[in-house]
Structure 1
Amino acid sequence: MLVASLMCVVCVPAVARKKEFRNVKKVVRGFSAIDTAYIEPQHFEFTAMLQTTFTYDIYELRSPGGQSITFSPDVIMKVGPYFGWRWFFLGYTFDLKNIGFSSDKRKQELDLSIYSSQIGVDFYYRRTGSDYKIRDVNLGDDTDMSGLSPLSFDGLSVGITGASLYYIFNHNRFSYPAAFSQSTCQKISCGSWMAGIGYTRNSLDLDYGKLQDAVNSYMGRTDVKLDSGMMFNSVKYYNANVSVGYGYNWVFAKNCLLNASLSAVLAYKRSKGDTNDGVDEFSFNNVNFDGVGRFGIVYNNMRWYVGASAIIHSNNYRKPRFQTNQVFGSMNIYAGYNFGKKKKYRKK
């Protein structure tokens, strides 16, 4: 009798643990639950892909006096192989312009997006280095600065680190993975609302002395001055945000999908910076609207796939003394092959 009682004491925790494991397993499976009338699940365990990635960055500074300067580096193209197993995807891309060496070791870029049926995650880390070019200049109504563009300018450095998490409401019938990770196929056109949260940290360093010297050198005189809003050493700004958006998958032909999704971002932003005159008023608390756009087109017959996708972020800060606008993102062109058919899809 005593032995039986002890056995029950031992068995109860084991049964409870087994039940908890089943519950966790059920929750995990829920993240990939789909309506197979709308979405065809992945039939293969592995994939191999070759991808070309283009990254771009446009940065505009604007003063209350009407002056504005737009900077952007040359578009960077990278090519590399990728290999995937189920949800895990690894690869590396090479900068074709600088194979074997780096023209600016401070330049670092990492963009990572994870797409499941219910939840998507974006992470981006960028340090632009100092390879910007002046693309557009407006220093006054009667000042022609068109000849200054494009001019290499190493006095600007921008950094951005951010992450966002968003939930897809109609995840059973609308598939983000079909458009951006090629792990499913959308069979019937469908859309979904989505909502998310995020956090971003930015840094901006500007050598306004070099910028003024570039203007003076081009003009051949020193009477064209930058507004005080352009004259700062550095500024750092942070934002916490919430977003809401809508995405749509259009199946315009068999195995062919076109996706477009847009999200409006309401961001609370806090900034600190140093100005040339030392006045401690270059700090502001702010609420602004930003935006995120995703676009993709893909052909996927479950064995072979080819397509292109792009993600674009737009951030802005607007206060009476200082305004910035930044647009950055990446575009991917890819082709791949799936292999290693899952057991349940093998012919018996």
Structure 2
Amino acid sequence: MKVVKVSLIVLLIMQSVSLNADTIPERKGFWQQIKHQAGKIIESFTAVDTNYVEPQHYKFTMMLQNTNTYEKYRLENNEGQTITLAPSPSVKVGPFVGYQWIFLGYTVDLRNFNENKDRTEIDLSLYSSRIGIDLFYRKMGNHYYIRNLFINHHTDTKALEDLPFNGFQSSIKGFNLYYIFNNKRFSYPAAFSQSTVQRRSAGSFLAGIGYTRHQTSIDIGELNRMVKEKIQFPSNHLATNEPHVAFGDYRYTDFSVSAGYGYNWVFAHNWLLASSLSAALGYKQSDGDIQHDNKWSAAYHVGKLNVDALGRFGLVWNNTKWYAGTSAIIHYYRFNRQQLTSNTLFGNLNIYVGFNFGRYKKQ
């Protein structure tokens, strides 16, 4: 909803400028100058080299989109024990309607329609020829599954694979803001928002900044209960020798700077294959606790540099009137401390089809 508000504010300001220019003659020059400067700023964010990029010709668009979201956590403690947790992927379908910079839509989660009411996923990306921004917020509740568990080389944990585990919760929120250097010839909107058409292949270096706040918690008592219940130990096995797992909660705030490269390959008329990859050097200020046998160790509170990654991929057919394609955005975050290491992977896969209408008048 924030994007809608910002877009509406821009439109209302432009309308207000026009009204005031008409109703206050003595200040007409002042308001006309503001309107002119605002128009120049907007044009600077959408200006392209038309030998490489064909601009949008229509005011309105309608689209049907399928969105598939994925998420995975892999935790490892200093004893070499690992666990991989992931919720079931969500499959959403819904319509979208757009007018110039405003794009509204609603999707229904077909797989979890009557479940996971506490599951919240917000992923929003805004693209112009010069800059782009990703906003994301995810809170998955406790609807996770154990995808893999390693305790030691003597313990077979296959009986736990793909079982639901309600003892893990996570939330992650943040943004990525980036600048596109070759913005006249390389078009992110052509690949990911269908508002322009890439006519000739081009690439560009990217640079940006980012912020992430990440929190997780795990119920070790519940996990060890499942281990004891599901794993078959020999009859002569002593209870005191039963393996126990030890993971912990962690929280961190990450500030990062990123650099990368993107390339749009026009391999046929109206067809585009796009990809970009950025690596981010982030400073993570973190704190957490390690739990073992239902007892918490002393908390740690440290700061450290880590490398994260962000990838985008897209395939689109667009003849300026009709368009169809698929796109994916993948985030990777690594949290590495002496006591605990976490690898987090999440992203979206979109499949869409739509059309534009309301052609701009030729000037």
TM, length-normalised to structure 2: 0.87
Structure 1 residues 287 and 226, CA gap change in structure 2 (3 angstroms): farther
Give the direction of change, closer, same or farther, for the CA distance of 1:18–1:92 in structure 2 (3 Å limit). same
- CA deviation after TM superposition for structure 1 residue 260, in Å: 0.5
Is this contact kept in 1: 2:156–2:231, CA < 8 A?
no
After TM superposition, the structure 1 stretch with the greater mean CA deviation from structure 2, 134-143 or 117-126, is 134-143
Matched, 1:85 2:116: no
Number of residues paired by the alignment? 331
- Residue in structure 2 matched with residue 4 of structure 1 by the alignment: none
List per-residue Cα deviations over 1:96-132 (Å, max 9, x = no partner): 1244x3x122210010000000010100010011111
Whether the aligned pair in 1 keeps the contact of 2:90 and 2:112 (CA below 8 Å) is no
1:253 aligns with 2:265: no
User: 2:3 matched to which residue of 1?
Assistant: none
1:131 matched to which residue of 2?
143
Deviation string 1:221-260 (CA, Å, 9 cap, x unpaired) is 55333354x1x3x322110111101000000000000001
Q: Distance in 2 between matches of 1:280 and 1:98?
A: 38
Alpha-carbon distance in 2 for matches of 1:275, 1:194: 38
SS in 1 for 2:32: helix
The whole-number CA distance in structure 2 between the counterparts of 1:270 and 1:226 is 29
Post-superposition Cα deviations, 1:247-280, rounded to whole Å, max 9, x if no partner, equal 0000000000000100001110011223334443
Equivalent residue letter for 1:155: G
Give the structure 2 partner of residue 41 of structure 1: 55
Instruction: Write out aligned runs for 1:61-100 (5 A).
Output: 61-99=75-113
Deviations 1:14-67 (A, max 9, x none): 534533432232122100010000000011111110000000001011011111
Q: Secondary structure at the match of 2:68?
A: strand
2:300 equivalent to 1:286: no
**Equivalent residue letter for 1:245:** G
Q: 1:238 to 1:17 in 2, by over 3 A?
A: same
**1:224 aligned partner:** 242
2:180/2:205 contact within 8 Å kept:
yes
CA distance in 2, matches of 1:300, 1:306: 7
Q: Of 125, 134, 143, which aligns to 1:122?
A: 134
SS at match of 1:242: strand
Q: Does residue 181 in structure 1 map to residue 193 in structure 2? A: yes
Partner of residue 211, structure 1: 223
Whole-angstrom distance in 1 between the partners of 2:219 and 2:112: 26
Select which of 119, 137, 140 maps to 1:107.
Answer: 119
1:242 partner letter? V
Deviations along 1:157-208, whole A, 9 cap, x unmatched?
1100111110000000000000000000000000000101111101101111
Q: Is the 8 A contact 1:65 1:227 kept in 2?
A: no
Partner of 1:29: 43
CA distance in 2, matches of 1:216, 1:14: 79
Q: Which whole-Å CA distance do the structure 2 matches of 1:269 and 1:142 have between them?
A: 35
Mark the runs of 5 or more structure 2 residues left unpaired by the alignment: 1-23, 234-238
Query: Unmatched 5+ residue regions in structure 1?
Result: 1-9
Shift of 1:220: 3.9
Query: 1:243 and 2:261 equivalent?
Result: no
2:286 is aligned, of 268, 271, 281, to 271
Instruction: Give the alignment's Cα RMSD to 1 decimal.
Output: 1.7
* Alpha-carbon distance between aligned partners in 2 of 1:273 and 1:338, rounded to the nearest angstrom: 50
Q: Does 1:326 align with 2:344?
A: yes
Distance 2:328 2:150 in 1: 30
Percent of paired sites with the same residue: 46
**Which residue identity lines up with residue 150 of structure 1 in the other structure?**
D
Distance 2:40 2:245 in 1: 60
Amino acid in structure 1 at the alignment position of 2:253? Y
Letter paired with 1:110 = I
Q: State how far apart, in whole Å, the 2-side matches of 1:329 and 1:261 are.
A: 14
CA drift at 1:214: 1.0
After superposition, the C-alpha distances for 1:76-107 in whole angstroms (9 at most, x for unaligned) are: 100000001111110010011244x3x12221
Shift of the 145–227 alpha-carbon distance from structure 1 to 2, 3 Å rule, reads closer
- Which piece of structure 1 moves more, 47-56 or 217-226? 217-226
AA at the equivalent of 2:45: F
Whole-angstrom CA distance in 2 between matches of 1:12 and 1:53: 53
- Measure the CA separation in 2 of the matches of 1:147 and 1:11: 80
Aligned to 1:343: 361
1:309 paired to 2:327: yes
Partner of 1:104, secondary structure, is coil
